[in-house]
Structure 1
Amino acid sequence: MPKTELSVGTIEYEDTGGYGVPVVLLHGLVQDGTVWRHVVDALGPEFRCIVPTLPYGSHRTPLRPGVQLTPHSMALLVGEFADTLRLGDDAVFVENDAGRLQQLAAERPDRVGRMVIAGCEAFDNYPPRAGGTMLAAAARIPGGIATMARALAVRPLRRIPGTGYAIMGHKPVPDDLIDRWIEPLRRDRAARGLLVGYLRGVRKTEMSEAAEGLRSYDRPALVVWGRQDRMMPPEHGRRLAELLPRGRRLVELDECRTLIPLDRPDGLADAIRTFVRETASP
């Protein structure tokens, strides 16, 4: 897997290569790039898919000692990653679950040529209901994240309705993915510490502030949402599409919750493909 050096340390990423339109696929907390595996397959050779493993607790390559990350600094890190890869205005940034892309587009609109917001934190749903608030609470209890990771290692506990990964997927999240995502949190104190610091660095108002900034993001944008999402309210997708000056594009998918790349990878890939064609430069 390729690696690049950023200000915080080494970031791994997948790059399918080729001369297609670059599509940067950004995952959420306690996940890695494998959440996008079916979308990458569906997009095929028409696109150059770039999938960084962001340091959200499921990363395996340690950052530099002493590094601390907050949601705001993570948003800027996504921009730094794109700068390092010298991605141009034709690049498409797609984010699921987290809201860092909205913050980046509000603060550095020139860096985000085109944007797809796919079932993300937004407005006052921050930390997001259920799964997000559970993580935030665990981060404020000594040893809470380690305890949560140990609990999630017990497969039947993952299926408790209304909690964790169970609320994020319309279909059960595959056990092989959850096993992979929680392993660093079970075994690596530094990974746990980074996630704890990130969660404690959340500012309740920062997604509402980002939404205000998006009102001046005058570049192509698409919003994709799951109609059955119980963690990210579907009405937030409609509000985002309305406030973006060039974001009147909204796709709502059935049989789909927060983890759109797992629930409806083909539907998401089709939406991305159509969006890219409609917004291509002459």
Structure 2
Amino acid sequence: MNTFSPLQDRRTVRIPAGVVGCREAGAGIPVLFVHGIVANGLAWRHVARRLAGQARCIAPDWPLGSHHPAMPSADLSLPGLARIVVDVMDALGLGDAVLVGNGYGGDIAQVVAVQYPERARALVLAATNAFDSDPAPTRVLQRLTALPGAGALQAIGMRSRHMQRQWFTYGGVTKRPIPADVMTSYLTSLWSDRQVRDDFRRFLGQLSPRHLAEASPRLAAFDKPALVVWPTEERYFPAEGARRLTQTMPRARLVTVDDSYSWMPEDRPDLLADLLAEFLAELSPASP
């Protein structure tokens, strides 16, 4: 089976901030996936394979380090990225969608749900920051990428499979190695495009826990179905955030998952897809 199936076909959409790559599979209720940093829409390939018979699975390449082309004039703060999500929805003709965010993609999804609640039909957050959490590995990465020339050196270092599996890189977010061709798709832009490295540095430079310290409590007004999925072996994002998110959103439910780090679309895609399928089936056709 093609590793990238069913998301192997990529097209681009133009929005005010630039050009965004987008992959789709299936038909039905629109589900918009938001991946984490230094990943792209292929992170959802296994989930989309199982959900495509039930939903229109939309997996853009958000400007978080694995995107192309670069977006040198874009606002890559969390509020700016939330606007990019809405602009992509507009470009795809989506009035609303079920938002599914993983890792820092969940941070973005929270801001979308707070600032543009009419665009989120429902919300799924899988291992993400919440409230004022500020993972130590991200702080280290922020300091490293701020050094002159550090981005190019880090991109070169990440060519090593050994480096890719370290606790402070992909080995900290996935229990199992990511296929080599998928890793190449995640890292090629960082390896080859200085402007993409500049985008990633700008994103990290604007990343601050204050954004979710403001946004997460406001999810108390998000009176739509919500699902919080948390891996019991998560290393970066505090479990207390999952509990607080579930208590904050009026219609939220918490599910815990074993045998996975934070990137459940890579570690436990079948289980995550089953949870999403059940969640989508519960949504009324008349849901706002």
TM-score category, normalised to shorter length: over 0.9
Q: Which residue of 1 aligns with 2:198?
A: 193
What is the identity, as a one-letter code, of the residue corresponding to 2:116? R
Q: Counterparts of 1:98-247 in structure 2 under 5 Å?
A: 98=104, 99-126=107-134, 128-130=135-137, 132-160=138-166, 162-247=167-252
**1:174 Cα offset (Å):** 2.9
Structure 2 Cα separation of the partners of residues 192 and 113 of structure 1: 33
Structure 2 Cα separation of the partners of residues 214 and 73 of structure 1: 18
**1:53 Cα offset (Å):** 0.7
Distance verdict in 2 for CA 1:61–1:144, change over 3 Å: same
What is the identity, as a one-letter code, of the residue corresponding to 1:37? R
Q: Which residue of 2 aligns with 1:35?
A: 43
**Cα contact 1:76–1:104 (8 A) shared by 2:** yes
Q: Counterparts of 1:14-93 in structure 2 under 5 Å?
A: 14-18=23-27, 20-63=28-71, 66-89=73-96, 91-93=97-99
TM-score, length of structure 2 as denominator length: 0.90
TM-score, length of structure 1 as denominator length: 0.92
Q: Decide which of 239, 243, 254 is 1:250's aligned counterpart.
A: 254
Q: Decide which of 9, 16, 21 is 1:7's aligned counterpart.
A: 16
> Residues 176-205 of structure 1, C-alpha deviation per residue, up to 9 Å, x if partnerless?
322221211111011011111111112331
What is the identity, as a one-letter code, of the residue corresponding to 1:164? T
**Cα contact 1:134–1:164 (8 A) shared by 2:** no
> Residues 43-79 of structure 1, C-alpha deviation per residue, up to 9 Å, x if partnerless?
132211111111112112233x534422220111111
**1:235 Cα offset (Å):** 2.6
3-state SS, counterpart of residue 224 of structure 2? coil
> Residues 77-99 of structure 1, C-alpha deviation per residue, up to 9 Å, x if partnerless?
1112112222234x211011111
**1:17 Cα offset (Å):** 4.4
What is the identity, as a one-letter code, of the residue corresponding to 1:50? I
**Cα contact 1:68–1:194 (8 A) shared by 2:** no
Supply the RMSD in Å over aligned alpha carbons: 1.6
Distance verdict in 2 for CA 1:178–1:137, change over 3 Å: farther
3-state SS, counterpart of residue 127 of structure 2? strand
1:263 partnered with 2:267: yes
3-state SS, counterpart of residue 201 of structure 2? helix
Among all aligned residue pairs of Structure 1 and Structure 2, give the percentage whose two residues are the same amino acid: 34
What is the identity, as a one-letter code, of the residue corresponding to 1:281? P
Gaps of 5+ in 2: 1-9
Moved more, 143-152 or 30-39: 143-152
3-state SS, counterpart of residue 238 of structure 1? helix
**Cα contact 1:166–1:173 (8 A) shared by 2:** no
Q: Which residue of 1 aligns with 2:7?
A: none
**Cα contact 1:261–1:268 (8 A) shared by 2:** yes
Structure 2 Cα separation of the partners of residues 146 and 215 of structure 1: 42
Distance verdict in 2 for CA 1:238–1:227, change over 3 Å: same
3-state SS, counterpart of residue 140 of structure 2? helix
Structure 1 Cα separation of the partners of residues 101 and 178 of structure 2: 18
Q: Which residue of 1 aligns with 2:100?
A: 94
Structure 2 Cα separation of the partners of residues 17 and 157 of structure 1: 35
**1:31 Cα offset (Å):** 0.6
